[in-house]
Amino acid sequence: MIKSGRARGIVIAIALCFICLFRFVPTPAGMTASAMQVLGIFTGVLLLWMTLSIDWPSMLCLAAIAFVPEMSMGSILTASVGNATFSFLMFTFMCTYTLGQTPFIRRCALAFVTGRGAKKGPWAFVMLYFASVLFLGSFMSPTVLVVILLTISEEMFGILGLKKGDPISTMMTAGMVFCAGIAAGMTPIAHVFPVLSMNVYQNATGNAISYVHYMAAGVPTGLVATGAMMLIFRFVLRPDMSKLRTAGVDGLKAKLPPMTRREGLCIGIFFGVIALWVLPALIKPFAPAAAAFIDSFGIAMPPLLGAVLLAVISVDGKPLLNFKEATAKGIPWASLIMVSGTLALGAAMTHADIGLTAWMIDRIAPMAANLAPMALVAFFVACSAVMTNFASSMVTATVVATIALPVLVATSGAVSAPAVIALIGMMSAYDFATPPGMATIAFAIGSGWVTTSDMAKYGFTLMVISIAIAAAVGYPIAAALM
């Protein structure tokens, strides 16, 4: 991000020119002045997101869209902070924060690395450590998870006799961050990026992408990508695993406190929330009425119920959820404000009276018709993977999905639009190489257990392989289900 005062002023001036003046630029044939205005807002705000910040430019985005004649402030607020996606993320963050305050994450991670399987050899130990990250990351924010696991890892490295710069500690730290990103792409549970791309599709088409269908493609893709990561470590990094002595790790488990009633209740409520998200698709074939009833409440109701239960239920006179603490420390408000901005921008770009989507489809359809379907899939998957390593993952999920959707619709079914949109959300989480996409990379580098060059070298290698995996494994599954 730009820090210099002069450079910051120049970027803001350029962005404001796009936001305020683009409406008055001569319009191409068939495009309305309002469509040009929305494109100007999109370009200006995107420039600010990528160079300065994600918070105040998002508020500027909301204000700017209010000056588009076809949009009203009420409709903008309904599409942004009033959107179910905004509430879904806010309540989910409250639930995950409460779970994170218990020893549950530490308990799970140590259960993987102190079990019988981990004692079969050094590589088995490392693989199970990464498996613990995939499991926990499938329902926790990658940022929160990496912060907690870095603390556990430092303690574990001391017991294992590993030092900073050791290839084994480099592998385990980088792999932990890679797995946190992969896990964030495997499920939409508590993960912003897949939800944002799925929301672009739902707002434009009126059809939702099922959580179960998303995970049916996301989980196999993530597992194969993790396997590729292990091959990179084993045959490229090639650490001397004979140095790894894991017997002492059992002592960490002995330090864990017994599970309390508070922890058990937090775990039960959280997994009850997850069950309500995935249950409708599972029971629909034999209980369609029940599935429809649960679905009718939308994605925000389960975490809302969970947050209410956590706030109401007390143990030893203290509620499970401290509302003031959870809202102050557990909700990443800058990210949520950006979500509201992207939701409003998406609503403006797909507004029928503004006509931007229709104009794009008319112009892009001939070009899309000349591309092989798998070439189009690979192109958007690659765009997402590359962009997320150089820009905000949330920006990637929104921008690439918004641009891709008209192109995909123009193929008239030759390419599955929901499948590719799901892959865009998935790959937006695959930030492996550089810090701008997610803070997890910066945290890992800042810990000293892995270097910037190591993250770039192994991260970009994994990124290229993951693009091929997503296109070859994820797309066929998603296309068959969506």
Give buried/exposed letters for 163-183 (b at 16+ CB in 10 A, else e): eeebbbbbbbbbbbbbbbbbb
Element (H, E) at 6: helix 5-21
User: What's residue 178's pLDDT?
Assistant: 94
The 10s digit of each residue's pLDDT in 287-312 is 888 888 888 888 788 889 999 999 99
144: confidence class by pLDDT, cuts 50, 70, 90: confident
Does the pLDDT of residue 48 top 80, yes or no?
A: yes
Average pLDDT of the residues in 71-75: 90
Report which of 407, 424, 416 is spatially closest to residue 369, judged by C-alpha positions. 407
What distance in Å separates the CA atoms of residue 96 and residue 263, rounded to the nearest whole number? Answer: 12
The residues near 424 (Cβ < 8 Å, ≥ 6 apart) are 197, 380, 381, 384, 396, 397, 400, 401, 404
% the chain with pLDDT above 70 = 96
The residues near 326 (Cβ < 8 Å, ≥ 6 apart) are 93, 94, 97, 98
**What are the CA-CA distances from residue 88 to residues 79, 85, 220, 259, 434 (Å)?**
14, 5, 25, 29, 28
Does the pLDDT of residue 51 top 90, yes or no?
A: no
The Cβ of residue 270 has, within 10 Å, a number of other Cβ atoms equal to 25
Which DSSP category does 24 fall into? G
φ and ψ at residue 349, rounded to 5 degrees:
-70, -25
Q: What is the dihedral of CA 276, 281, 284, 287, to 10 degrees?
A: -20
1: confidence class by pLDDT, cuts 50, 70, 90: low
What distance in Å separates the CA atoms of residue 307 and residue 319, rounded to the nearest whole number? Answer: 11
Give 319 or 147, the one with higher predicted confidence. 319
Residue written as token pair 């905000």: 392
Q: Which two tokens stand for residue 204?
A: 């434009």
Report which of 432, 431, 434, 418 is spatially closest to residue 474, judged by C-alpha positions. 418
398: amino acid identity, one letter? T
What distance in Å separates the CA atoms of residue 407 and residue 62, rounded to the nearest whole number? Answer: 26
The 10s digit of each residue's pLDDT in 170-214 is 999 999 999 999 999 999 887 888 888 888 888 888 888 888 899
Domains of the chain by residue range: 1-69, 70-481
The 10s digit of each residue's pLDDT in 465-476 is 999 999 999 999
Share in percent of the chain as helix, strand, coil (round to 5): 75, 0, 25
Contact, 63 vs 80, CB < 8 A? no
**What are the CA-CA distances from residue 410 to residues 32, 148, 406 (Å)?**
20, 45, 6
216: confidence class by pLDDT, cuts 50, 70, 90: very high
CA angle 70, 71, 77 (to 5 degrees): 165
Does the pLDDT of residue 436 top 80, yes or no?
A: no
What distance in Å separates the CA atoms of residue 85 and residue 335, rounded to the nearest whole number? Answer: 12
Does the pLDDT of residue 59 top 70, yes or no?
A: yes
Q: Which two tokens stand for residue 229?
A: 């990561």
pTM of the predicted model as reported, rounded to 2 decimal places: 0.78
Does the pLDDT of residue 105 top 80, yes or no?
A: yes
Average pLDDT of the residues in 331-335: 82
3-state secondary structure 109-177: HHHHHCCCHHHHCHHHHHHHHHHHHHHHHCCCCHHHHHHHHHHHHHHHHHHHCCCCCCHHHHHHHHHHH
Residue written as token pair 């001391």: 158
3-state secondary structure of 83: coil
Q: Alpha helix (H) ranges present in 187-260?
A: 192-205, 211-232, 250-254
DSSP letters spanning 242-270: GG---GGGHHHHHTSPPPPHHHHHHHHHH
